[in-house]
Amino acid sequence: MNQISTLEINNNGDVLSVSSPESSFLYDMLSTVGGGNITESWDAHANAEMKKYLDGIFSTFQTVEFLVTLRNYSLQCTAHQYSANKAFLHFKVIEEIVLGSNDKSTKKYRVDIKKKGELFDSILMEASTPIHFVAMDGRIIAFNYSASELLGYTKKEYELLTVYDIMPKYTKAIWRQKCVDYALSGSQTFQEVVRKKDGNYIDVQVNTNILMYGDTEVVYCCFTDLTEKKKLEEKMKLVDFSFRDTATAICFLREDGTYYDANEAMSNLLGYTMEEFMALEIFDINPNIDKDYWAVIWERQRGSGTRTLQTTLKKKDGAIIDVEIKSKLINYGGLQLSSAFVTDITEKKRLEEQLKLIEFSFRNSATPIVYIKEDASIYDCNEIYIKTFGYSKEELKTLKIHDLNPYFNKEKWALHWQELKETDSMTFITRRYKKDGTPVDIEVRANLIKHGGTELNCAFITDITEKLKAEKKLKFVDFSFRNAYIPIYLIRKDATFYDFNDAAHTLLGYTREEMSKKRIYEIDENYNTPEIWRKKWDTIGDTETKTIFTKHIKKDGSLLDVEIRAKLMIFNGHEYQCFFVTDITGINKFFA
């Protein structure tokens, strides 16, 4: 009678296999269940009991123990869930059932469990499930070690307790009514709150039945600690809340490409309502994937852990967005799903392309650009900067600014950096030296920027060596022009003076201010109208240097005989007549 028989079932109660010794009187009874369902293959009472316990078996991966009456036997059942949807049920006979009442309204099966010795110790006392036998007056008549340990009592302390001590909300009246309910229903399963020795409360699932303890009718109470289950449920609620309300788009796909679940962030990302999105398949939103390619992707996921890939998705309005997807195959209740975390990287990709363009522009700019750290070392520079100073990039990274410009020693560089921090940008002219010692005059446009957590001086360099040389030449030419003893005019087409030297206005007796307001035909007797001047411009504008003899009118009204060598000049896109004027009045008088 102590032989153990086993059923393998799924979470629907379907029997997958039967293992029972042929000598066991359970063999015929359990064999009839093979291929059937444990909630349908027994008598009505047994079917109801098994249906009641089925949900408890698959609510946790912990071992569950309970008593069940099948035909004329009371059985100890130890249920062990070994996968998401499969479990083993191990049956062991406790006692043969005797009829407790002939009253049809309260007819039930009862077992006398007041047995001493090995059977009681092995089945009751050593069971991992807390078990109590409670009298109708609330006294705890018997219990196992798991019961006292669950609530934190020693065996001696627990022997002195009543049901009212561990279930504080129960009064004597409530307990009596509960006993009546148990007697009428035969068995019940419900959740209850019990109090531990330390005063803390825990949630338990209670399975009850009415049994005989000798000549005494008692309530059999089997506790299942739901503390961890409750914690798990709270965690699951938190996980589900996080999944539903996170800003990250998340979805779960089946092997056939349909969606098992998704959050609102996912449907919002593509512009669908949740109902619309859940009716889609992966092929509807990813134009790069067909069913054959999806099968390949699914196979790749099987042994690869988390995979990260970039692709494109099509929104409801037809717009295409760039996304990064981190996916992984998971098992959920025996169902294989692909979990996908989707990030819109459209803007990121646009910025990356822009950064590539900026990087290309920086590297290939015709303007030397250098990034300098606060300690005066060179962080980075472009190719033209390298060529300008004749160093390799590796050499420049070992140098500091004072190696290129002795003026910027450590003290002056520190002052320069402080000034740059205060102004953010500045422009100045300085001199640096090439690797071969050649000086280079440069204009520096310095800008303070932040790169990560580092402050850098982004400096744009302009080589002004030739410009400064040209400016010196221009200064010399201008000095020569201003101080030449020969009067020189620069005249525009409209007859106004663009410029003239001191000898010019001195010759005619005007101040510089007075002469600048004149026109050429106001000081020339032969070209004394705008029309005559325009004709003269046309005749001398298309020739090389031409000599003209005419008379100029001085401020005092007297006339001067002058010889003019005229030449057309173009400066900054504008035409000017350059007149070199010689006073020949005295010569004409001499030969007259």
- Give per-residue pLDDT as tens, 151-170: 999 989 998 999 999 998 88
Q: Do residues 405 and 431 lie in contact, with contact meaning Cβ atoms separated by under 8 Å?
A: yes
Q: Do residues 346 and 322 lie in contact, with contact meaning Cβ atoms separated by under 8 Å?
A: yes
pLDDT of residue 51: 76
pLDDT of residue 375: 93
Residue recorded with tokens 């992966």? 282
Q: Do residues 545 and 570 lie in contact, with contact meaning Cβ atoms separated by under 8 Å?
A: no
- Candidate from 5-14, 168-177, 466-475 with smallest mean pLDDT: 5-14
Q: How many domains is the chain partitioned into structurally?
A: 5
Question: What is the mean pLDDT of the segment spanning 114-132?
Answer: 62
How far is 319 from 342, CA to CA, in rounded Å? 17
- Candidate from 89-93, 277-281, 558-562 with smallest mean pLDDT: 89-93
pLDDT of residue 74: 67
Residue 67, strand partner residues:
76
pLDDT of residue 24: 56
Q: pLDDT tens digits, residue range 261-320?
A: 899 999 999 999 999 999 999 999 998 889 999 998 888 888 777 888 899 999 999 999
Q: Do residues 501 and 482 lie in contact, with contact meaning Cβ atoms separated by under 8 Å?
A: yes
Residue 105 forms part of a structural domain: no
Question: What is the mean pLDDT of the segment spanning 372-394?
Answer: 91
427 and 517 together in one domain: no
Q: What is the DSSP track for 86-150?
A: EEEEEEEEEEE-EE----GGG--EE-B----SHHHIIIIIT-SS-EEEEETTSBEEEE-HHHHHH
Question: What is the mean pLDDT of the segment spanning 370-381?
Answer: 92
* Residues 6+ away with beta carbon under 8 Å from 24: 3, 5
Local structure of 332: helix, strand or coil: strand
Residue 104 forms part of a structural domain: no
128 and 231 together in one domain: yes
The 3 state secondary structure assigned to 161-218 is CEHHHHCCCCCHHHHHHHHHHHHHHCEEEEEEEEECCCCCEEEEEEEEEEEEECCEEE
User: Within its chain, how far is the Cα of 155 from the centroid?
Assistant: 56
409 and 506 together in one domain: no
Q: Residues 280, 282, 286, 287: what is their CA dihedral angle, to the nearest 10 degrees?
A: -90
pLDDT of residue 494: 92
E-strand ranges in 236-301 read 249-253, 259-262
CA dist 501 to 442, 504, 525, Å?
A: 33, 5, 21
Q: Do residues 278 and 266 lie in contact, with contact meaning Cβ atoms separated by under 8 Å?
A: no
Residue 317, strand partner residues:
none
- Categorize the per-residue pLDDT at 468 as very low, low, confident or very high, splitting at 50, 70 and 90: confident
Structure tokens at 472: 């010196």
pLDDT of residue 8: 79
Going by the DSSP 8-state scheme, the letter that residue 306 receives in this structure is S
318 and 420 together in one domain: no
224 and 150 together in one domain: yes
Q: Is the pLDDT of residue 110 over 50?
A: no
266 and 241 together in one domain: no
Picking from 322, 348, 374, the residue at the C-terminal end of a domain is 348
Higher per-residue confidence, 592 vs 499: 499
Picking from 348, 378, 400, the residue at the C-terminal end of a domain is 348
225 and 124 together in one domain: yes
Q: pLDDT tens digits, residue range 489-499?
A: 999 989 999 99
Q: Output the domain CATH number for residue 440.
A: 3.30.450.20
- Categorize the per-residue pLDDT at 522 as very low, low, confident or very high, splitting at 50, 70 and 90: very high
pLDDT of residue 29: 58
Picking from 435, 467, 499, the residue at the C-terminal end of a domain is 467
Residue 476 forms part of a structural domain: no
Q: Is the pLDDT of residue 142 over 90?
A: no
Percent of the chain residues past pLDDT 70, beyond the cut = 86
320 and 409 together in one domain: no
Residue recorded with tokens 């859940």? 278
Residue 254 forms part of a structural domain: no
Residue recorded with tokens 């962080």? 379
Residue 252 forms part of a structural domain: no
Residue 535 forms part of a structural domain: yes
How far is 82 from 78, CA to CA, in rounded Å? 13
Q: How many other CB atoms sit within 10 Å of the CB of residue 28?
A: 10
Q: pLDDT tens digits, residue range 202-255?
A: 999 888 888 776 667 788 888 888 888 788 777 777 777 777 778 889 999 999
- Categorize the per-residue pLDDT at 124 as very low, low, confident or very high, splitting at 50, 70 and 90: low
Residue 357 forms part of a structural domain: no
- Categorize the per-residue pLDDT at 542 as very low, low, confident or very high, splitting at 50, 70 and 90: low
90 and 117 together in one domain: no
Question: What is the mean pLDDT of the segment spanning 466-490?
Answer: 88
Local structure of 583: helix, strand or coil: strand
Q: Which amino acid is at 218?
A: V
57 and 143 together in one domain: no
Residue 546, strand partner residues:
566
Global pTM value: 0.43
Domain with 441 in it:
365-467
Mean pLDDT of the chain: 83
116 and 78 together in one domain: no
Burial class (CB in 10 A: 0-12, 13-18, 19+), 423: exposed
pLDDT of residue 455: 92
125 and 234 together in one domain: yes
Residue 576 forms part of a structural domain: yes
How far is 567 from 563, CA to CA, in rounded Å? 13
